[in-house]
Amino acid sequence: MTTPIHRPSLRYLTACEPAILRSVVLPRLKGMRVSPEVDSVFDCRHDTLPALLSLIQLSKCSLTSLTLNHAVFTDVLFNVLDLTPTVESLHLSVQHWRSHYNPIFKTLIDRLAACSNEGSPTFDFLPLIREFKIGIHDSRMEERPCRFIDHSFFDMVSLRWKSKTLKAHIDQLREFKNDGLDIHLAVERYSPGLYCYDEVTVERFV
């Protein structure tokens, strides 16, 4: 068994191969980006998230930024996030949507919305998060719709930004944006061309 390599000065890492993630110990790591090569049509391997979990466990690092591009999402995601309570920026990106992602992302939203006191909310799960992005870039979304964006999503935004549940969700989000919240909510639909999906229809809500 190979001994992991210690790199105490490394603060930012971009990697996708599980072998790399399992081969290093990075105690001062602050920013982690899991991503395949640019323009890759392939997702990260199925064991990438478990390898990332191993890296965090061995390194005992305090991440402030975590990006997971085209990962294969499983419940291991929550093991990773439970070990990274200092994360302020979380970006998740999907290029091949799978039906079992719906309950995973729904659980993520529900956990982000859970608080101990709605009047002056405090959060046990990712309490410091300030930037949260989910990108779904699958042109066949109509065949495999995402169902995790419901009232809980808007409640989560409300609780994190204000201290009460939204009633008119979209209207309230627009008010938040006018108040200074950097938020964009839109749906992009791609129409197939001869060689690629080149016609884009954007429906903007906020």
Give all domains of the chain, ordered by start, each with its CATH number: 5-181 (3.80.10)
d(C-alpha 196, C-alpha 173), whole Å: 34
β-bridge pairing 65-69 and 24-25: unpaired
* Residue 205's pLDDT band (cuts 50, 70, 90): low
Residue 191 has pLDDT above 90, yes or no: no
With 0-12 / 13-18 / 19 or more C-beta atoms within 10 angstroms meaning exposed / middle / buried, residue 203 is: exposed
Find out whether 158 and 121 touch, Cβ atoms under 8 Å: no
Q: Residues 157-171: what's their mean pLDDT?
A: 59
Residues 69-93: pLDDT tens digits? 999 999 999 999 999 999 999 999 9
pLDDT of res. 148: 80
Residue 12 has pLDDT above 90, yes or no: yes
List of residues 6+ apart from 140 with CB closer than 8 A: 97
Residue 164 gets the label, from left (phi > 0), alpha (psi -120 to 50) or beta, of beta
* Residue 22's pLDDT band (cuts 50, 70, 90): very high
- The percent of residues above 70 in pLDDT, for the chain, comes to 77
pLDDT of res. 138: 76
Q: Residues 15-40: what's their mean pLDDT?
A: 92
Mean pLDDT of the chain: 82
155 or 5: which carries more pLDDT confidence? Answer: 5
List of residues 6+ apart from 193 with CB closer than 8 A: 199
171 or 66: which carries more pLDDT confidence? Answer: 66
Residue 110 has pLDDT above 90, yes or no: yes
What pTM was computed for the model? 0.76
Amino acid letter, residue 96: H
Q: Residues 99-113: what's their mean pLDDT?
A: 92
* Residue 119's pLDDT band (cuts 50, 70, 90): low
User: Count of alpha carbons within 13 Å of 166, Cβ hemisphere only?
Assistant: 23
pLDDT of res. 86: 96
Question: What are 50's two structure tokens?
Answer: 């478990």
List of residues 6+ apart from 112 with CB closer than 8 A: 123, 125, 126, 129, 132, 156, 160
27 or 204: which carries more pLDDT confidence? Answer: 27
d(C-alpha 144, C-alpha 154), whole Å: 22
Least confident range from 12-16, 30-34, 65-69, 190-194: namely 190-194
Number of H helices, E strands in the chain: 6, 9
What is the SS3 assignment for 90? strand
